[in-house]
Homo-oligomer: A and B are copies of this chain.
């Protein structure tokens, strides 16, 4: 679009004739109603994540005038939390709510649609998925499973985790047993730590009994609810391993295609609203809980030293190279992801980063 054309449009002053406000004649529809099941990876009504899933279902109900009712199941209520991918795949539920890195065992490329160590933050992930090639690639990764996924929430930048000693260099990771799943776990393993996979319900006791020395979870709000401040002293930031974790809503493609077009669009739009709602809640509540942890529970807030972060970044690149060299689809996705990230970071330097600097002068 050229400036002249751009301005010509701006200059148009034609007053179009008004149209009638409402068509008075009622139209009669015969519409089928649907009852769907959404299986989630979260405990029932889990703060923010489960609440977001509940809201998504409520909005769909309201927008469809009750024509699409979605019953939301907490993890374990209908199928186990990590059984939701297969449940939706095989049609025993129509819809799932989780995070794409849980399905790394199905296809390693799924991980790029949730969180990548030293990867993109929430705003950048949204830009890649909604406007870049992200959604197209995501569709390609999930197609062999008969599923389609889309963003339906974001945690924002997570915290680095809870430690019972100070972490001053990469050497302090040697021999450390830390609960940390996914790519982050692979990265600290390269630093000599042992990455432990423990479900949410066991972390507190494991930390209390010394089965693990450290853990990460989400952010101040969720970590407060878990009570980690009672069994670990040092709370580290930033969450380099989860810089803006995307929560997903996925559907069985056949069941979705069988919905009328209006209900399909309602589901998609509710997912987008739930995406911005969740990130907004995380952004709004995290700082209050961080302050509470520090002032009331005397948690010691610490930043990972730069030298350590540099080293972890090198390990992260190695981990990503391992994955992309072994899996063609992962390479295809990550090539696009990293190209987008490079551009987004250049833009961040003149926008978000420069603004944060100016505001903190």
Contacts and interface: CB of A to CB of B under 8 A. Distances in A.
B21 A243 contact: no
Interface size class of A (residues with CB under 8 A): 35 or more
A223 B42 CA distance: 45
Interface string A13-27: 111101111111011
B354 A238 contact: yes
A353 interface: yes
A186 B13 CA distance: 30
B309 A361 contact: yes
Given A128-B284, A225-B6, A288-B343, A36 B21 contact: yes
A331 interface: no
Contact of A309 (B6, B47, B79, B358): B358
Contact of A343 (B73, B128, B287): B287
A272 to B, nearest CB: 4
A132 B340 CA distance: 32
A112 to B, nearest CB: 16
Q: How many copies does the complex hold?
A: 2
Nearest to A274: B272
Contact of A21 (B35, B277, B347): B35
Contact of A346 (B159, B275, B287, B346): B287
Nearest to A127: B283
A162 to B, nearest CB: 14
A172 to B, nearest CB: 17
A156 B261 CA distance: 32
B22 A34 contact: yes
A288 to B, nearest CB: 7
A257 interface: no
Interface of A: 1-3, 6-7, 9-16, 18-24, 26-37, 43-47, 59, 62-65, 67, 71, 73-80, 92, 94, 118, 121-124, 126-132, 156-157, 159, 200-201, 204, 219, 225-227, 237-240, 243, 255, 260-262, 265-266, 268-270, 272-273, 275-277, 279-281, 283-288, 290-291, 301, 303-304, 306, 309-310, 313, 340, 343-361
